[in-house]
Structure 1
Amino acid sequence: MQVTVRLLGRRLLLAIPTVGLVSLGIFAIAAASPFDPLSAHLGADFQSATQSQREAVSDAYDLDQNWFEAWLHWWGHLVTGDFGWSSTRSQPVAQVIAERLPFTLGMASAALLSAAVISVILGAVVGMRRGGLVDRSVTALAAMLAATPPFVISLLLVSVFAVSLGAFPTSGARRPGDPYTVEGILTHAVLPYIALTVSMIPWLLLTMRSAVVEAVASDAVRAARARGISGWVLLRGHVVPVSVLPTLALLGTRLPELIAGAAIVETVFGWPGLAEALVDSAVALDFPLLAALAVGSAVLVLAGSALSDAAAVWIDPRIGMRA
């Protein structure tokens, strides 16, 4: 336990400058973008706007200040709890996050948990039967899915289950004009949930399968078999505890893929989550919302990586990770 706490403490110290550099990079890259933030703020009125109107908008949103000054200004407000104003949503950034975070968090958590459970179970099964028909079929299917972009999976699900069969809604989280309800959200969430889960399974499954194959060939498992241990007892007591560690480590490193996949899936299905808002803020150069979501994504990736490593150390203290 002490090793795990020390590991988390070191990761926290490393995360502070990392988050600062990520936020600095966001403002620097956005400043070098060919998009004109004034055009994004004025929208269709950009061409017809007078010089005084353009100056008024620039002053209101501090569009003329240097990007480094804008970064310092943003952090100065952030430490006081002021996340700024989102021009794309016409709402405070804190309100945008509060309204959309439950949709993204619920969808991503459910998909990640499902993908992990399916990958661990199926990877263990096919790994114990290496070279068999089931192993070859599952491995080939996983490789094919790994090469398929999430938007292709999403469009295929929409085409089959929403358009052709009419079994599920095509987009959103509620019917137009209706309030949000649990039944409506769950119904609309089925297809994006499946798309996001399927997009995360292949690498986790293949990692688990490889770890099981390696564990089965180890001296410890051979010795257990020599003592008459086999079947479920062998898998549960000797193979899975060792094989699940690489999968846990991969969960932390694949969080950026989860965020990118969520952005694509939410855009295709019109899911009202943060990933969709992140894409819109990047296109429209909505700096306060873009910076808040980008920094939040970085924090999520760092936290996920630290927690996955801490879980691995907790399961097997012999690992002894130091960073």
Structure 2
Amino acid sequence: MAAYVVRRLLQGVVVLFLISVITFLLINLAPGGPTSAVSLGRTAEEREAVLRQYGLDRPVLIRYFDWLGGVLRGDLGESYNQGLPVSSLLAQRMGNTLQLALTALTLTALLGVVLGVLSALHKNRWPDHLISSLATVGMSVPAFWLGIVAIIVFAVQLKWLPSSGIFTVGQEFSLADRLRHLAMPAGVLAFTLMPNVIRITRSALLEVLTSDYVRTARAKGLPERVVLLKHTFKNAMVPVIAILGLITTVLFSGSVVVESVFGWAGLGRLAIEAANGRDYPVILGVTLLVGAIVVVVNLLVDLLYAAVDPRISHE
């Protein structure tokens, strides 16, 4: 197992290296790159001074290896617009993204698995039809539209929840206030991602319920609860873990729309602000961080496979 983990981590390092090369070259060689952004609203002398300040007057490959050397030392560069270290900006936003992503993931996993199990156990009956209809609606509704509707209903009309932000400005930190701000963005993300878990759980459970060892367990007279928990549910979890791993990567890399709609100051919103402001060091930092998260999540998912299903071995 240790050798497998080391091998996967080395593969992850190679993946991150390729991501950094591609992203850096695309940013610096494509039209509208850093050198053109520097020229906006500046005289020729000011432009040359800024180019020298950020090292943009040197060849692209030299700049890349200088940047890579800084990354290996924990230095991701400095934001063009804010004048702050990129690492500190990422650290500020990472905690907010973790709160949103983990809350949405918890809701997605719990509700998705429970509803998927209910749908499978009541196949072709009204609970199954109701849950399938709910899943279809969740897959069809765009997250930005659902977010706007949620703001209109719960913030404007009912005034139950705040419309945006992470906390109430001017108020001391309280868990209740943070949860009120977290409810809508996490709920919208969970509602749009939960249908995938419902469908996978239902399909996996129905497949396992028709297997020979489940029929044998029932023929022995085991209680249905024991059959479901001991012989069925655990064996159906492998594809569910796979889809949850995919959803986790989406939550960290694809929650840009929801963060923008609800004014949630996370990594997604930071990436949008950096792209709009042509803050290329921040874009590079966000891309590299999200890539590292994806690598780690994929490794954890593979390890969970072996923990859930003893037939899977990484030796």
TM over 0.5: yes
Q: 1:177 to 1:56 in 2, by over 3 A?
A: farther
| SS at 2:82 equivalent | coil
Q: Which residue of 2 aligns with 1:22?
A: 19
Q: Could you tell which deviates more after superposition, 223-232 or 20-29? A: 223-232
Partner of 2:229: 236
Letter in 1 for 2:127: V
Please name the residue that 1:250 is paired with: 243
Counterpart of 1:115 in structure 2 is: 108
Q: Which residue of 1 aligns with 2:68?
A: 75
Find out whether 1:318 has 2:300 as its counterpart. Answer: no
Per the alignment, residue 168 of structure 2 pairs with 175
Q: Is the 8 A contact 2:70 2:76 kept in 1?
A: yes
Structure 1 residues 28 and 262, CA gap change in structure 2 (3 angstroms): same
Larger RCO: Structure 1 or Structure 2 (Cα < 8 Å, ≥ 6 residues apart)? 1
Distance 1:312 1:306, change over 3 A: same
Residue 279 of structure 1 corresponds to which residue in structure 2? 272
Distance 1:149 1:177, change over 3 A: same
Q: SS in structure 2 opposite 1:86?
A: coil
**Mapped partners of 1:284, 1:33: distance in 2:** 16
Instruction: Report SS of the residue matched to 1:91.
Output: coil
Alignment of 1:284-323 (within 5 A): 284-321=277-314
Alignment of 1:1-323 (within 5 A): 2=1, 5-37=2-34, 40=37, 46-47=40-41, 49-178=42-171, 181-321=174-314
* One-letter code aligned to 1:26: T
Q: For residues 282 and 230 of structure 1, what CA distance do their matches in structure 2 show? A: 58
Structure 1 counterpart of 2:17, one-letter code: G
CA pair 247-72 structure 1, distance change in 2 beyond 3 A: same
TM-score, normalised relative to structure 1: 0.90
Report the Cα distance in structure 1 between the residues aligned to 2:192 and 2:224, rounded to whole angstroms: 31
SS in 1 for 2:255: helix
Is the CA contact (8 Å cut-off) linking 2:253 and 2:290 kept in structure 1?
no
Unaligned runs of 5+ in 1: none
CA contact 1:74–1:288 (8 Å) conserved in 2: no
Question: Runs of 5+ in structure 2 lacking a partner?
Answer: none
Normalised TM-score (structure 2): 0.92
Task: Provide the C-alpha distance between the structure 2 equivalents of 1:24 and 1:231, rounded to a whole number of angstroms.
Answer: 55
Deviation, 1:105, is 0.8
Residue 321 (structure 1) shift: 4.7
Measured on the aligned residues, the alpha-carbon RMSD in Å equals: 2.1
- Comparing 153-162 and 275-284, the one that deviates more: 275-284
Quick check: 1:172–1:270 contact (8 Å CA) kept in 2? yes
Residue 36 of structure 1 and its aligned partner are, at CA, apart by: 4.6
CA apart distance, 1:271: 0.7
Deviation at 1:66, TM superposition (A): 3.5
* CA distance, structure 2, for counterparts of residue 160 and residue 256 of structure 1: 29
Q: 1:283 to 1:28 in 2, by over 3 A?
A: farther
